[in-house]
């Protein structure tokens, strides 16, 4: 089993041996990664590969020669010839190049994952070269059933929030970001009122002076919230609310208070239970 990583091809020289359908898929993925240069070597190049290579890739239409691997950082062996694949892999490895060989995981230094990209978001599936078709089918299922456009926008928004939080000078920043990440991801699947939120402070996390300061801060945060309850007792100060402004409200708290936070969220039920009759009424 390999270590799942993302290979940065910027500034790298890439060689693809083979010019058929499989080589074309490799070439398509490589070109997305903006390598320094790409060369395709094959006795015959398919029209699809030729079209993709036009103006961006050096194409050498001839049989592979040992010197073809010289000077390359990454080598893909994709001809329909197991003996040639092994030969390419051995020669490339002697040149300290990373090698990927089609249908021969034992010859590979790395595997290409079945992936889908939306903006800066990449979701990948790998079987370690065992069954690429299975990985592709699972990738297609993820693409069909997950709100990738909303997830991509959520990633962009969370990245801005993360930068702001990491610039703060309070403890628990990483724990806070972990909670916020779950909120952003969860928020892509439903409407704004899927959770009841709690932002609070109690005697176990904050001394009385902090709780007194927090009460004033939470009162200010609650203004404008359509549905909220502000609870203040001798031991705790808590704001319960529904809405889509959870992250924005949280970031408005002073850094000195963020160190003492309690954060919770509970899923909203899809039904309500009245006193009578004793049965659920579906929520519209």
* pLDDT at residue 10 in the model: 95
Distance CA 8, CA 30 (A): 10
- Is 2 within 8 Å of 128 (Cβ atoms)? yes
CA proximity to 100, closest of 131, 78, 133: 78
> Which residues contact residue 33 at a Cβ distance below 8 angstroms, ignoring those fewer than 6 apart?
7, 8, 9, 10
CA atoms within 13 A on the CB side of 142: 17
Per-10-residue mean pLDDT of the chain, 284 residues long, equals 86 97 94 95 95 92 96 95 95 96 92 90 89 92 89 92 87 86 76 70 89 90 82 89 75 84 62 36 40
Distance CA 222, CA 249 (A): 9
- Is 257 within 8 Å of 213 (Cβ atoms)? yes
Domains belonging to the chain, first-starting first, are 13-112 (3.40.50.720), 113-145 (3.30.160), 150-268 (3.30.70)
Tell whether pTM > 0.75: no
* pLDDT at residue 190 in the model: 52
Q: Scanning the structure block, which residue is given the tokens 């080589």?
A: 23
| Secondary element (H or E) of residue 100 | strand 98-101
Structure tokens that stand for 267 in this block? 């899923």
* pLDDT at residue 125 in the model: 93
Distance CA 78, CA 92 (A): 14
């Amino acid at each position: 089993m390999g270590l799942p990583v993302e290979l940065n091809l910027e500034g790298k020289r890439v060689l693809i041996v083979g010019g058929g359908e499989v080589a074309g898929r490799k070439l398509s993925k490589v070109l997305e990664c903006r390598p320094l240069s790409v060369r395709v070597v094959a006795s015959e190049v398919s029209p699809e590969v030729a079209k993709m290579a036009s103006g961006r890739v050096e194409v050498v239409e001839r049989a592979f020669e040992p010197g073809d691997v010289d000077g390359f950082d990454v080598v893909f062996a994709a001809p329909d010839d197991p003996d040639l694949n092994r030969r390419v892999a051995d020669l490339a490895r002697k040149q300290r190049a990373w090698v990927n060989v089609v249908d021969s995981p034992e010859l590979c230094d790395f595997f290409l994952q079945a992936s889908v990209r939306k903006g800066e978001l990449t979701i990948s599936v790998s079987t370690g070269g065992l069954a690429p078709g299975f990985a592709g089918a699972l990738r297609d299922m993820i693409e069909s059933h997950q709100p990738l456009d909303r997830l991509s926008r959520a990633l962009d928004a969370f990245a801005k929030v993360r930068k702001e939080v990491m610039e703060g000078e309070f403890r628990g920043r990483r724990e806070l970001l972990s909670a916020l990440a779950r909120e952003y991801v969860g928020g892509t699947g439903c409407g704004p009122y899927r959770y009841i939120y709690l932002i609070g402070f109690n005697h176990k996390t904050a001394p009385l002076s902090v709780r007194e300061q927090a009460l004033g801060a939470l009162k200010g945060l609650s203004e404008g919230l359509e549905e909220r309850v502000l609870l203040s007792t001798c031991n705790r100060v808590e704001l319960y609310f529904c809405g889509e402004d959870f992250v924005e409200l949280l970031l408005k708290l002073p850094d000195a208070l963020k160190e003492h936070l309690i954060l919770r969220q509970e899923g909203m039920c899809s039904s309500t239970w009245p006193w009578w009759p004793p049965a659920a009424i579906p929520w519209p």
